Structure 1
Amino acid sequence: MTGSLMRRLTTTVELPGEAPLSIAAEVFAPDQLTQPPVALVCLPGGGMSRRYYDLRSSDGDESFSFARQMAGRGYLVVTLDHAGIGDSDKPADSYALTPERVMQANAEATALVLEQLRSGALLPQFGPLPALRSVGVGHSMGAMFTVLQQAAHAQHAGIVVLGFSTRGLPEYVSPRVKELAAESVAAVRAEVVPLARKMFVSDYPEIKGSPTSNSIFAGASADPRGVEAIKAARAPLLPVPAFFSMIPGNIAPEAAQVSVPVFLGIGERDMVGAPQQVPAAFAGSQDLTLYIQPQAGHSHFLFASRRALYRRLDAWVRTVLAHLDEV
């Protein structure tokens, strides 16, 4: 691949007393593009920056880097930092970064970078790419945002949902939140900011490591080089979206609206509940693929089976786009 370049993309999303949010994007370019050209637009999960998609081990092994592996297969790979994370703008009040605002900023940044790619302004070596299509890729909380973005803006030809389900994480929320969610997800949404503030208290809270979290994210079968590499991708949490992703039924209405093909990638030892139950949330899509990654925890790129995941995703994207061309 030819390398990567950084861009800051200014959106129209404003918070009280703040300038419009700018989102950091990194674009990984292949030596030769797939035909038709495809951009994978990648959103990281909670507690991670965009570097989650470009994990680099100290010995130079690039197999942990999703971005470089997929660029090596001919894809343009775009990784974004959510507002408040990494090199994107960081507002003073993290609780002002509601799921709606973060999603809208991501959607506008996605539109801007795709426009620059299609016009040829961003990567002039490829010239204009009017036929460029995009596939949204999200991991964990980033997958939640990918689904929300697709439901609201229908930007992608397909979406890849890694390590996420609409069941939330009921084991981490209070009985009161579970009661509210059982009554109506809308009831929790109406109180999401004060509930998140009650749970996290501080601005931009940090995830504390524990034997339980380590076993879910990595575990004994994770490659130690990947475990070390992922430390560079760590970032604070966005408290409101993080809390929202834990609510049972969190984005069930939006998931049901998604009509494009969906690839569901779940680690065999993931944290989404029974993998076979996940596809039911995407009732609006007529093209669903469930892939259970062998012996993998929540951070899929740390495990030996990551190579099989890359191959499956490559084949899935090519098949999906070929089918669209036939319709």
Structure 2
Amino acid sequence: MADRELLQFHFNMEATPTVPTGSVRKIGAVLVIDPEFSGPRTVCFGFPGGGYNKFYYLLDHPDLTRPSQAEYHARRGIVFISCDPFGDGDGTRLAQEERDLETTVRAVDSAVAWTLERLRAGTLGGSWGSVEVDKTLGIGHSLGAMQLIVQQALYSTFDAIAVLGFSAVHSMIPTPNGYIEPGVQESDRAKTNLEDAWTGPIVENSSHLRFAYHCDDVPQRLVDEDMNVGFPTRRAHDLPPWISQTFPPFVTECLNDGIVRKEAALVDVPVFVGTGQIDIVPDLKDESNAYKASPQVTLYELGGSAHMHNFSPKRQTLWSELHKWFEFQC
């Protein structure tokens, strides 16, 4: 299996204009596929967390062994499509006021439909021909998971979703001394800019984010590259390939208590909730109750990992559990 050649195809998904007079918005994406698989296929779309792009699922670094998450699933028959955040990356660059959560999920839902239509017809542009799409899955990490929950509730985009590193109850930042939140009051977060929203000990003491993001077994060079670019505003001129220049504006609200509680309760497809041992999910057991309409909620904690699961030396254990869940659902 490890020797099979995978194809990577870089393209732009097209999103339906959000207003009648608007133009098509494009979202950068990379498709990873094993062309030797035949028959019905599961297609999985991956959405990164705040401050990251499509290469979170395609991490390629000297201090990380292969495969990436996209490659791992593709070698097992999944067609994996890793997406940039709406309004950043290789797609259409948008001003922050055009990237609110409601606009984002509407645009991404239409872009997923656009992509699936072309996969089925064999007109996306790759060399593998048409794909017989059986099931569709959505994976979201951190802020991408918040986006995914809302999108699924409003548009029923996928047949199942995986929520990684995000709490549908109340996301909070873990520190060695307990969970903390940004310094601004919840009622004011939606009204503030990024700098104002992310204040207090989370950003004033860099060791807090370091503790939350990466366990001690993550190679130090990789940690430095990931965390020395500036947070929440990017200070570095040259960014690692997996880092985005901006954060979606709804990052100012993502730690509000119950920010997606209403939407999570409307999700009526199977849900996989995965966290690290150290993560922004205070109590994994509570997550089951958030998805009241889901026919099945699967909970999994990756021992020895922090919030940035795909940087962890133990990451393939999570992917294995996730893939077993894929197979069960599909």
Query: Could you tell me the TM-score, scaled by structure 2's length?
Result: 0.82
Alpha-carbon offset, residue 84 of structure 1: 2.3
Kindly indicate whether the alpha-carbon contact (under 8 Å) linking 2:63 and 2:222 is maintained by their aligned counterparts in 1.
no
1:235 paired with 2:237, answer no
Q: What corresponds to 2:256 in structure 1?
A: 247
Counterpart of 1:132 in 2: which secondary structure? strand
Letter in 2 for 1:88: G
Counterpart of 1:264 in 2: which secondary structure? strand
The one-character-per-residue Cα deviations of 1:74-118 (angstroms, maximum 9, x if unpaired) are: 111001112222112112x31331101111111111111111111
Alpha-carbon offset, residue 164 of structure 1: 0.3
Letter in 1 for 2:118: Q
Q: What corresponds to 2:328 in structure 1?
A: 319
1:81 paired with 2:84, answer yes
Q: What corresponds to 2:144 in structure 1?
A: 142
Distance 1:208 1:75, change over 3 A: farther
Letter in 1 for 2:60: R
Letter in 1 for 2:206: S
Q: Find 2:214's aligned residue among 209, 212, 218.
A: 218
Q: What corresponds to 2:290 in structure 1?
A: 281
Counterpart of 1:246 in 2: which secondary structure? coil
Q: Distance in 1 between matches of 2:154 and 2:45?
A: 16
Q: Find 1:199's aligned residue among 196, 199, 222.
A: 196
Letter in 2 for 1:58: P
Distance 1:208 1:117, change over 3 A: farther
Distance 1:175 1:225, change over 3 A: closer
Kindly indicate whether the alpha-carbon contact (under 8 Å) linking 1:24 and 1:87 is maintained by their aligned counterparts in 2.
yes
Kindly indicate whether the alpha-carbon contact (under 8 Å) linking 2:41 and 2:132 is maintained by their aligned counterparts in 1.
no
Kindly indicate whether the alpha-carbon contact (under 8 Å) linking 1:5 and 1:26 is maintained by their aligned counterparts in 2.
yes
Distance 1:308 1:13, change over 3 A: same
Counterpart of 1:122 in 2: which secondary structure? coil
The one-character-per-residue Cα deviations of 1:127-166 (angstroms, maximum 9, x if unpaired) are: 4334432100000000111111111111211101100002
Distance 1:126 1:229, change over 3 A: farther
Q: What corresponds to 2:12 in structure 1?
A: 8
Kindly indicate whether the alpha-carbon contact (under 8 Å) linking 1:7 and 1:26 is maintained by their aligned counterparts in 2.
yes
Q: What corresponds to 2:113 in structure 1?
A: 111
Q: Distance in 1 between matches of 2:205 and 2:158?
A: 35
Counterpart of 2:185 in 1: which secondary structure? helix
Q: Distance in 1 between matches of 2:62 and 2:120?
A: 35
Q: Distance in 1 between matches of 2:20 and 2:156?
A: 28
1:23 paired with 2:27, answer yes
Letter in 2 for 1:217: Y
Q: Distance in 2 between matches of 1:11 and 1:238?
A: 20
Q: What corresponds to 1:324 in structure 2?
A: none
Q: What corresponds to 2:98 in structure 1?
A: 96
Q: What corresponds to 2:231 in structure 1?
A: none
Q: Paired residues, what number?
A: 302
Letter in 2 for 1:316: W
1:33 paired with 2:29, answer no
Kindly indicate whether the alpha-carbon contact (under 8 Å) linking 2:16 and 2:25 is maintained by their aligned counterparts in 1.
yes
Q: Distance in 2 between matches of 1:294 and 1:87?
A: 34
Counterpart of 1:79 in 2: which secondary structure? strand
Range that drifts further, 284-293 or 9-18: 9-18
Which structure carries more helix by proportion?
Answer: 1
The one-character-per-residue Cα deviations of 1:19-55 (angstroms, maximum 9, x if unpaired) are: 4321111111114337531111000000101111111
Q: Distance in 2 between matches of 1:120 and 1:96?
A: 32
The one-character-per-residue Cα deviations of 1:168-189 (angstroms, maximum 9, x if unpaired) are: 3383345632xx4xxxxxxx7x
Question: CA RMSD, aligned part only?
Answer: 2.8
Q: Distance in 1 between matches of 2:121 and 2:223?
A: 39
Kindly indicate whether the alpha-carbon contact (under 8 Å) linking 1:85 and 1:235 is maintained by their aligned counterparts in 2.
yes
Q: Distance in 2 between matches of 1:15 and 1:172?
A: 36
Where in structure 1 are there 5+ consecutive unaligned residues?
A: 181-187, 202-206, 322-327
Query: Could you tell me the TM-score, scaled by structure 1's length?
Result: 0.83
Q: What corresponds to 1:265 in structure 2?
A: 274
